[in-house]
């Protein structure tokens, strides 16, 4: 399995990765957008979400558009959120969506850690990856959960943030039996394996 910078030195555990999920329809720059939003709109929504999360402006952050990922196929899953195992499995099986997610993760990694990760410099105490979809209920939550499982398995301190009171209206709000429990070991392993497979396919993490 690929290892992130600082994995062996213990520096990774001192840094916090904040995975933020949200939907464009709740914000002025994105509420009227149809189809796949532009990079400019995604960037402006990311700024809104970072401000809402009170994320430090001096710490690095990057947006991850989840619009290449298909929404839940079955209507019964719409009453749940993206932490539901069935939704996570569907997202893991989505080739285009996962390729984009892992590509963004790769870009975020090397934007944050340019050059030799072990060189003597001050590294940020927090990093943010902001996952954005239409409503902030399913795709962005699922992709944040998948990436979180991958980073947690590698020793990172991962924290999830979302505005569930607003974004998760009309769902179980993540409180049902399926959505509220921590991810099973088997499903977490599936997330790690899937991301590693994609990295290997596209020869990522080889810089």
- List the structure tokens of 155: 């020793």
Question: Is pLDDT larger for residue 81 or for residue 203?
Answer: 81
User: What's the mean pLDDT in 181-189?
Assistant: 93
Report the pLDDT value the prediction gives residue 5, as an integer from 0 to 100.
Answer: 47
**Domain coordinates of the chain in residue numbers?**
17-114+123-201
Widest Cα–Cα separation across the chain: 52
Question: Which of 51, 32, 23 shows the shortest CA–CA distance to 128?
Answer: 51
Residue 109, pLDDT score: 77
Q: Which one has a higher pLDDT value, 64 or 115? A: 64
For the chain, the first-to-last Cα distance in angstroms comes to: 15
Q: Has residue 175 got a pLDDT over 60?
A: yes
Q: What percent of the chain has pLDDT over 90?
A: 49
Q: What is the pLDDT of residues 141-155, one digit of tens each?
A: 999 999 999 988 888
What's the mean pLDDT in 61-71?
92
Residue 205: pLDDT over 60: no
In terms of pTM, does the model score above 0.75? Answer: yes
Residue 29, strand partner residues? none
Given a cut of 70, is residue 158 above it in pLDDT? yes
Average predicted confidence (pLDDT) for the chain: 84
Which stretches of 37-125 are DSSP H helices? 39-52, 85-92, 95-112
Q: How far apart are CA 49 and CA 140, in angstroms?
A: 13
* pLDDT of 87 above 80: yes
pLDDT at residue 3 is higher than 60: no
């Amino acid at each position: 399995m690929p290892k992130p910078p600082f994995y062996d030195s213990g520096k990774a555990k001192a840094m916090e990765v904040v995975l933020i999920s949200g939907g464009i329809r709740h914000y002025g720059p994105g509420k009227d957008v149809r189809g796949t939003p532009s990079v400019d709109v995604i960037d402006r929504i990311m700024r809104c979400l970072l401000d809402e999360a009170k994320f430090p402006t001096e710490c690095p952050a990057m947006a991850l558009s989840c619009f290449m990922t298909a929404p839940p196929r079955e209507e019964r899953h719409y009453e749940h959120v993206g932490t539901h195992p069935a939704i996570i499995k569907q997202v893991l099986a989505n080739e285009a969506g996962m390729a984009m997610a892992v590509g963004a993760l790769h870009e975020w990694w090397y934007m944050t850690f340019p050059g030799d990760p072990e060189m003597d410099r001050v590294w940020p105490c927090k990093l943010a990856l902001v996952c954005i979809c239409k409503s902030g209920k399913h795709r962005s939550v699922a992709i944040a959960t998948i990436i979180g499982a991958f980073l947690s398995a590698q020793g990172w301190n991962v924290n999830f943030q979302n505005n569930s009171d607003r974004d998760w209206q009309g769902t179980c709000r993540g409180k049902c039996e399926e959505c509220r429990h921590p991810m099973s070991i088997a499903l977490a392993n599936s997330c790690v394996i899937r991301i590693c497979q994609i990295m290997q396919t596209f020869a990522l993490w080889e810089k």
